[in-house]
């Protein structure tokens, strides 16, 4: 490499480092100045929402892909309906039942699982229920519930996208939760 090529390479490297330093300083300025509004009454900035959603989807997919899933049964769905009513309906609603009023103030807002459950595999739903999601309000049920109970919830949740309000009520899931 000649002297001119070496100088060009060093200039490009210095420029890249300069850009990274400015970006890092800007990030630290936002963190330490309190410029980013963390109030749950305000929606996330579009970049923040994209970064959170993309990170969550890729993280869950990576960690759940090799989990063995039991074949769902009618008994699992019925048992999962009771658990869902007790632990999930407040935030995630159900066919013909809205989420609890207080859940509307959560950011990110919990998804209606009648729609969102179709986008996740059973293994991914299990992983989400078992481990929860940081900084989202989604708790981890793994420390307090056995895997069989969690798979019952999964079996029920995977039925939600096609479930009618009548079937939801028939399973007892539409009853008022505690």
**Which helix (H) or strand (E) covers residue 145, if one does?**
none
> What pTM was estimated for this model as a whole?
0.83
First to last CA, the chain: 74
Q: Is the pLDDT of residue 119 over 70?
A: yes
Q: Is the pLDDT of residue 82 over 90?
A: yes
Rg of the chain's alpha carbons, rounded to an integer? 22
Q: Is the pLDDT of residue 176 over 60?
A: no
Using left for φ > 0, alpha for ψ between -120 and 50, and beta otherwise, residue 34 falls in left
Question: What confidence score (pLDDT) does residue 38 get?
Answer: 87
Query: Could you tell me the pLDDT band of residue 2, with boundaries at 50, 70 and 90?
Result: low
Average of pLDDT values for 128-142?
A: 97
Query: Could you tell me the pLDDT band of residue 106, with boundaries at 50, 70 and 90?
Result: very high
Burial class for 167, CB neighbours closer than 10 Å (0-12, 13-18, 19+): middle
Query: Could you tell me the pLDDT band of residue 16, with boundaries at 50, 70 and 90?
Result: very high
Q: Is the pLDDT of residue 162 over 80?
A: yes
Tokens of 158: 């995977």
**What residue ranges define each of the domains in the chain, with the CATH number in brackets?**
66-170 (1.10.760.10)
Question: What confidence score (pLDDT) does residue 178 get?
Answer: 44
Q: Which of 21-25, 68-72, 126-130 has the lowest mean pLDDT?
A: 21-25
Average of pLDDT values for 6-21?
A: 90
Q: Indicate the average pLDDT of the chain.
A: 93
Query: Could you tell me the pLDDT band of residue 174, with boundaries at 50, 70 and 90?
Result: low
Share of the chain above pLDDT 70, in %: 95
As a whole number of angstroms, the longest Cα–Cα distance in the chain is: 80
Query: Could you tell me the pLDDT band of residue 8, with boundaries at 50, 70 and 90?
Result: confident
């Amino acid at each position: 490499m000649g002297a001119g090529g070496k100088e060009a390479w060093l200039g490009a490297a210095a420029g890249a480092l300069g850009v990274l330093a400015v970006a890092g300083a800007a990030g630290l300025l936002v963190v330490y100045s309190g410029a980013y509004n963390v109030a749950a009454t305000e929606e996330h900035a579009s970049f923040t929402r994209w970064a959170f959603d993309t990170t969550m989807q890729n993280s869950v997919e990576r960690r759940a892909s090799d989990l063995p899933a039991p074949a769902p049964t009618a008994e699992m769905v019925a048992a999962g309906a009771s658990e869902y009513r007790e632990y999930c309906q407040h935030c995630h609603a159900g066919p013909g039942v809205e989420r609890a009023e207080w859940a509307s103030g959560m950011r990110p807002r919990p998804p209606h699982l009648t729609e969102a459950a179709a986008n996740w595999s059973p293994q991914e739903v299990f992983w989400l229920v078992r481990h929860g999601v940081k900084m989202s309000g989604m708790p981890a049920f793994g420390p307090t519930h056995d895997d069989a109970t969690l798979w019952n919830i999964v079996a029920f949740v995977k039925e939600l996208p096609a479930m009618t309000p009548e079937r939801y009520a028939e399973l007892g899931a539409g009853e008022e939760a505690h």
